[in-house]
Structure 1
Amino acid sequence: MIGRIRGTLIEKIPPFVIIETTAGVGYEIQVPMTTFYQLPEEGEQAILSTHMSIAENLHALYGFISTKDRALFRELIKVNGVGPKLALAILSGMETDEFVMTVHDGNVDRLVKLPGVGKKTAERLLVEMSDRLKDWSISAGLPSSQPSEASIAQTAKTDASQEAVSALIALGYKPQIASKAVTQVAHDDAKSEELIRLALRQLAS
Structure 2
Amino acid sequence: MIGRLRGELLEKHPPQLLIDVNGVGYEVEASMNTFYRLPELGRQVTLFTHFVVREDAQLLYGFADREERLLFRTLIKVNGVGPKLALTILSGISANDFVRSVHDQDTAALVRLPGVGKKTAERLIVEMKDKLKDLQVADFGEFQLSGGGDPDVAVSMPATDHRAEAESALVALGYKPVQATKAIAQAEKALGAGGSSEDLIRQSLKSMVTG
Q: Map 1:145-184; keep pairs closer than 5 Å.
A: 147-149=145-147, 153-184=155-186
How big is the alpha-carbon RMSD for the aligned residues of Structure 1 and Structure 2? Answer: 1.7
Give me the TM-score of the superposition, normalised by structure 2.
Answer: 0.91
CA distance in 1, matches of 2:156, 2:203: 16
Classify the secondary structure of the residue corresponding to 2:175: coil
- Read off the aligned partner of 2:38 and give its amino acid letter: L
Q: Distance in 1 between matches of 2:176 and 2:99?
A: 27
Deviation at 1:154, TM superposition (A): 4.2
AA paired with 1:28? E
Partner Cα distance (1:107, 1:52) in 2: 31
> Could you tell me which residue of structure 1 aligns to residue 137 of structure 2?
138
Answer whether contact 2:8 2:45 (CA < 8 A) is retained: yes
Q: CA separation in 1, counterparts of 2:43 and 2:101?
A: 34
Question: TM-score, length-normalised on structure 1?
Answer: 0.94
Residue 83 of structure 2 is matched in structure 1 by: 84
Q: CA deviation at 1:153?
A: 3.1
Distance of 2:160 and 2:177 partners within structure 1:
16
Alignment match, 2:103: 104
Identity %: 52
What is the distance in 2 between the residues matched to 1:107 and 1:44? 39
Partner deviation per Cα, 1:42-84 (whole Å, 9 max, x = no partner): 1000000000011111110000001111011011111111000
Distance in 1 between residues matched to 2:140 and 2:99, nearest whole Å: 13
Residue type matched to 1:15 in 2? P
* Distance change in 2, residues 1:123/1:180 (3 Å): same
Q: Give the match for residue 202 of structure 1.
A: 207
Q: Secondary structure at the match of 1:117?
A: coil
Note the C-alpha offset of 1:97. 1.6
> Per-residue CA shift, 1:109-162, capped at 9, x if unaligned?
0000011100000000000000000111222896377x5545873431111111
Residues matched between the structures, number: 203
Deviation string, structure 1 residues 15-47 (Cα, Å, up to 9, x no partner): 00111112x101000000000000111100000
Q: Which runs of 5+ in 2 are unaligned?
A: none
Q: Which moved more, 1:182-191 or 1:152-161?
A: 152-161
Q: 1:140 to 1:126 in 2, by over 3 A?
A: closer
Residue 179 of structure 2 corresponds to residue 193 of structure 1: no
Q: Say if 1:73 and 1:88, in contact at 8 Å, map to a contact too.
A: yes
